[in-house]
């Protein structure tokens, strides 16, 4: 099994790298897995539709299954029946899939387009290539939004992430993601831990207790969410005063839906989203996927995506090309999590630390939730 896979991957590499690839050798359909909603729509408009227009006869099908990508790829691998061609996952999932051999290793310089000025792809993406299987697309952040009309009269609007923990100054419900990641770090930061010591403290049992105790001060005012659409819905309903979610969801609620919501960028937590190619694809399908990937992750396409959603393009060379929103005509740069005005105080989420400690902290967090 392992040998066949390696062989297949090697053949595929040669096929993709060779210049002799013709359209006849490529499959004519693509099954692309993503998250649905506005994010998938931005991918569709920025690179899938242009690609299909340039390659008549090719069809693309979306599958909104990224949320369970790891489990489904495991099942497909066991059943020996890979039905997906390209999967959009968050960085941590790409690491797991890569470790388990479910995702194909990528030679970024060989397989992806260089920047217009000749910078190689791996330099252009830089540190964002967090795993050998991962092709970054966007930088997004998990951050807070609050209802501007629910700020208590005579009080300044919230400006620090610690205002989330200040029930006296800002009474009302908050929505937080139902997982320890980010929440534990914010809790420690607001309990007085210096930013660069957060993971050292969180590595000890007392540190975990301390973070949970801080979260405990607002526990009875928290609505826990698990899907990105929930916080915008809760904010629009006025069910919560403030809540965390992905910054693109908040942008959509504020700019496209005109809700009385404002962003709180302080201590936003950066994360990455990108493609992985499932391991073990037949040669013709793999050739099509690599052809698509080369197009879809080039400098211009990543910049185009930012016209539809407020996520930062993963290539350094794309940043200057970010323009205006496709429908609203507003400048997108100030809405990017990476914009200097927004990125004054950011929280860099430590993938490796969480990969090592996730199971343990998940168990403790769930036990604490059930108390």
Alpha helices in the chain (DSSP H): 2-17, 37-43, 49-54, 69-79, 91-99, 108-111, 121-125, 183-190, 198-202, 205-216, 230-237, 247-251, 283-296, 299-305, 351-370
Q: How many Å apart are CA 15 and CA 191, to the nearest integer?
A: 55
Give the range of 3-11, 113-121, 229-237, 287-295 binding other proteins by CB under 8 A: 229-237
The reply to whether 278 sits near other proteins by the rule CB under 8 A is no
Task: For other proteins, give the closer residue by CB, 31 or 143.
Answer: 31
Smallest gap from Cβ 226 to other proteins, in A, equals 9
Task: For other proteins, give the closer residue by CB, 189 or 251.
Answer: 251
The answer to whether 311 touches 250, Cβ cutoff 8 Å, is: no
Of positions 6, 11, 14, 257, contacts other proteins by CB under 8 A: 257
* Residues of this chain, 74-93, that bind other proteins according to CB under 8 A: 75-76, 78-81, 83
Q: How many Å apart are CA 289 and CA 210, to the nearest integer?
A: 47
Interaction mask 188-227, other proteins, x per CB under 8 A: ---------------------------------------x
The reply to whether 255 sits near other proteins by the rule CB under 8 A is no
Which of 158, 305, 316 shows the shortest CA–CA distance to 240? 158
Of positions 12, 13, 26, 31, contacts other proteins by CB under 8 A: 31
Smallest gap from Cβ 260 to other proteins, in A, equals 11
The reply to whether 326 sits near other proteins by the rule CB under 8 A is no
The reply to whether 148 sits near other proteins by the rule CB under 8 A is no
The count of chain residues that interact with other proteins, using the rule CB under 8 A, is 31
Of positions 14, 28, 49, 61, contacts other proteins by CB under 8 A: 61
Classify residue 260 by burial, with Cβ atoms within 10 Å: 0-12, 13-18, 19+: middle
The answer to whether 186 touches 164, Cβ cutoff 8 Å, is: yes
Query: In DSSP terms, which residues pair with 16 in a beta bridge?
Result: none
Interaction mask 234-253, other proteins, x per CB under 8 A: --xx----------------
Smallest gap from Cβ 12 to other proteins, in A, equals 21
Give the range of 151-159, 230-238, 316-324, 326-334 binding other proteins by CB under 8 A: 230-238
Q: How many Å apart are CA 270 and CA 311, to the nearest integer?
A: 11
Q: Is 253 helix (H, G, I), strand (E, B) or coil?
A: helix
Q: How many Å apart are CA 164 and CA 111, to the nearest integer?
A: 44
344 dihedral zone (left: phi>0; alpha: psi -120 to 50; beta): alpha
The reply to whether 52 sits near other proteins by the rule CB under 8 A is no
Of positions 15, 21, 52, 67, contacts other proteins by CB under 8 A: 67
List contacts with other proteins (CB under 8 A).
31, 33, 35-38, 40, 61-65, 67, 75-76, 78-81, 83, 227-230, 232-233, 236-237, 256-257, 259
């Amino acid at each position: 099994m392992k040998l066949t896979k390696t062989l297949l991957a090697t053949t595929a590499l040669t096929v993709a790298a060779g210049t002799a690839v013709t359209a006849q050798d490529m499959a004519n359909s693509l099954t692309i897995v993503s998250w649905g909603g506005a994010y998938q729509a931005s991918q569709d408009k920025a690179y899938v539709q242009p690609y299909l227009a340039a390659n008549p006869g090719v069809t693309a099908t979306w599958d909104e299954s990224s949320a369970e990508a790891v489990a489904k790829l495991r099942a497909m691998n066991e059943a020996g029946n890979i039905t997906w061609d390209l999967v959009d996952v968050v960085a941590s999932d790409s690491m797991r899939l890569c470790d388990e051999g479910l995702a194909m290793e990528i030679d970024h310089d060989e397989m992806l387009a260089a920047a217009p000025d000749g910078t190689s792809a791996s330099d252009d993406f830089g540190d964002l290539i967090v795993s050998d299987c991962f092709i970054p697309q966007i930088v997004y952040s998990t951050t807070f939004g609050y209802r501007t009309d629910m700020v208590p009269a005579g009080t300044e609007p919230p400006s620090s992430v610690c205002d989330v923990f200040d029930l006296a100054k800002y009474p009302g419900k908050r929505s937080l993601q139902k997982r320890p990641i980010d929440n534990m770090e914010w809790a420690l930061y607001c309990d007085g831990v210096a930013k660069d010591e957060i993971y050292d403290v969180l590595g000890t049992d007392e540190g975990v207790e301390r973070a949970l105790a801080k979260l405990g001060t607002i526990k009875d005012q928290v609505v826990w969410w698990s899907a990105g659409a929930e916080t915008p819905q809760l904010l629009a309903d006025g069910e919560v005063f403030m809540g965390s979610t992905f910054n693109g969801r908040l942008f959509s609620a504020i700019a496209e839906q005109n809700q009385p919501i404002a962003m709180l960028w302080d201590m936003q937590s950066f994360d990455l989203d990108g493609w992985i190619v499932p391991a073990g694809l037949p040669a013709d399908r793999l050739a099509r996927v690599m052809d698509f990937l080369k197009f879809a992750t080039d400098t211009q396409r990543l910049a185009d995506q930012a016209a539809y959603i407020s996520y930062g393009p993963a290539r350094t060379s794309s940043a200057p090309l970010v323009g205006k929103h496709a429908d609203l005509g507003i400048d997108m740069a100030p809405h990017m999590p990476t914009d200097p005005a927004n990125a004054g105080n950011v929280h860099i989420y430590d993938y490796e630390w969480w990969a090592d400690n996730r199971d343990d902290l998940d168990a403790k967090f769930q036990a604490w939730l059930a108390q």
